[in-house]
Amino acid sequence: MKKETFVTKEQLDEIIKDYPTPFHLYDEKGIRRNMQALRDAFSWNKGYKEYFAVKATPNPYLIDILREYGCGCDCSSYTELMLSEAVGATGDDIMFSSNDTPAEEFIYAEKLGAIINLDDITHIEFLEETIGYIPKTISCRYNPGGLFKISNDIMDNPGDSKYGMTTEQLFEAFKILKSKGAEEFGIHAFLASNTVTNEYYPMLAKILFEEAVRLQKETGVHIKFINLSGGIGIPYTPDQEPNDIRIIGDGVRRVYEEVLVPAGMGDVEIYTELGRFMLGPYGCLVTEAIHEKHTHKEYIGVDACAVNLMRPAMYGAYHHVTVMGREDCPCDHKYDVVGSLCENNDKFAIDRMLPKVEMGDILVIHDTGAHGFSMGYNYNGKLKSAELLLKEDGSAQLIRRAETPADYFATFDCFDIGKKLLNMR
Ligand SMILES: *Cc1c(COP(=O)(O)O)cnc(C)c1O
């Protein structure tokens, strides 16, 4: 399938007059359409709720859009809790799905009335000591171990992941939590990441629903919700078939009716903590070609670098690249598209077939709407870019300014050298 950009060259030419490249651009129309489709897909479940995984794209303006559709926030750090509070998501609008959790984060989560999702059985005692009691509503994260397979494909390796409790620990945790006053229970698991198949959620749901029936029978607790967490992926490459959220929602409904309803558990609420699926395709990194280099390979140097998008450097991830205005030209040139870091893995694309790129061309790097800007760092003293929202009317709104050297040096502000740096231009 051909991957299209959600923004036209004419629109970008206008936007670039006001905002220099590089920047991340988000597509309001796409975000809303996808959000509505997710809601529709799970409308069969009365208590359904999506908790947007804040780490994917921690921008309050984007979270505000999702909030209009009833989204809560899935947080796992102090500042994510702050963001959540700032957009008005408190109480059971927050799922605190953290791990290796510092005490002050549990304290803040409790203060906000968040639902706490415990990553480990030892966190029961830690939480009780930290906040002084066990909340009435509590959730536990499950990790059945082994490999997670669909048909014969290995999707992921839960047995090798640091998250969650074993089956035995989960049963034990529920008993302990109940004896300490918990009344409403949740079960959470995240067993495979970026799955581009409609079968992941229904398979995960079956594992969790069967576990829930056993837990309710054996421990006598009331299971209020089952949290399928994140993991629904997006097609980064042109040959991948996108997930169909309607089929996924329907698949989960079928397992629900097969496993939970006959067990008298037809009141269980389904929660999700999607990040990538919510925003991934609705963001892109816009960058300009500023150098070409002909040595042992052909290079195009752009004004963005891995600081703006780390996934290719970190995972060797594929991100599609469109050379704006040359969509209909043949892809008859093989390039490495690179950033300026003194780090050879700073390459957005390797041996990529593209149309001939001219200096000044605008390149759109696709699918950066989740785990894009947010994974950024400041290596080589490079600064993070702005974030812009392409509104439904086609205009662009700044939703985060670009970093300046003053931001980069701000943590020296308590020293004389800091005062000097902050006054330099
Ligand atoms: C990262 C994360 C998510 C979101 O994952 P996606 O792959 O973006 O859907 C959800 N829940 C938890 C606990 C996570 O760590």
Domain ranges of the chain: 28-279, 281-412
% of the chain residues with pLDDT over 90: 97
**Gap from CA of 99 to ligand 1 centroid (Å):** 12
Give me the helix-helix angle, 122-131 and 103-112, nearest 10°.
Answer: 70
Measure 55 CA to ligand 1 centroid, in angstroms. 8
| pLDDT band for position 152 (cuts 50, 70, 90) | confident
Average pLDDT, the chain: 97
- Reported as a single tens digit per residue, the pLDDT across 277-316 is 999 999 999 999 999 999 999 999 999 999 999 999 999 9
In this predicted model, what pLDDT tens digit does every residue of 174-230 receive, in sequence order? 999 999 999 999 999 999 999 999 999 999 999 999 999 999 999 999 999 999 999
Looking at ligand 1, which residue's alpha carbon is closest to its atom 9?
Answer: 230
Residues with CB under 6 A from ligand 1: 53, 55-56, 74, 97, 190, 193-194, 229-231, 273-277, 370
Using 50, 70 and 90 to split pLDDT, how confident is the model at 151? Answer: confident
> For 114, what's the count of Cα atoms within 13 Å in the CB-facing half-sphere?
32
Ligand 1 atom nearest residue 99's Cα: 13
pLDDT at 14: 97
Protein residue with least CA distance to atom 3, ligand 1: 230
Ligand 1 atom closest to the CA of 97, numbered from 1: 13
pLDDT at 245: 98
Answer yes or no: is pLDDT of 340 > 80. Answer: yes
The alpha carbon of 416 is separated from its chain's Cα centroid by a whole number of angstroms, namely 39
Overall average pLDDT of the 93-100 stretch: 98
Q: How many helices (H) and strands (E) does the chain have?
A: 13, 19
Q: Give the pLDDT confidence of 65-79 residue by residue, as tens digits.
A: 999 999 999 999 999
| % of the chain at pLDDT higher than 70 | 100
pLDDT surpasses 80 at 149: yes
The C-alpha atoms of residue 101 and residue 225 are separated, in whole angstroms, by: 22
| β-pairing verdict for 72-75 and 94-97 | parallel
| Catalytic option among 73, 75, 331, 342 | 342
**d(C-alpha 96, C-alpha 106), whole Å:** 9
- d(C-alpha 91, C-alpha 27), whole Å: 29
DSSP string, 114-136: PEEEESSTHHHHHHHHHHSS--S
Segment 232-236 shows an average pLDDT of 98
What is the whole-number distance in angstroms between the Cα of residue 9 and the centre of ligand 1? 33
Q: What is the pLDDT of residue 36?
A: 98
Q: How many residues does the chain have?
A: 425
CA distance 396 to 403: 19
Question: What token pair was written down for 378?
Answer: 């400041």
The b-or-e profile of 78-89 (16+ CB within 10 A means b, else e) is eebbebbbebeb
pLDDT at residue 2 tops 90:
no
CA angle 377, 358, 337 (to 5 degrees): 35
Q: According to the model, what pLDDT value does residue 252 have?
A: 98
Tokens of 300: 């195009």
Element (H, E) at 236: none
Mutate to test the pocket of ligand 1, among 81, 190, 201, 375 (most ligand atoms within 8 A of CB): 190
Position 153 scores a pLDDT of 86
| pLDDT for position 230 | 97
The CATH number of the domain covering residues in 281-412: 2.40.37.10
Class of domain 28-279: alpha beta
Paired residues of 137 in beta bridges: 184
Residue position matching structure tokens 């040139």: 333
User: Is pLDDT above 80 for 419?
Assistant: yes
Strand partners, 115: 95
Whether 71 is a known active-site residue: answer no
The pTM assigned to this predicted structure is 0.97
Q: How far is the centre of ligand 1, averaged over its atoms, from the C-alpha of 304 (Å)?
A: 26
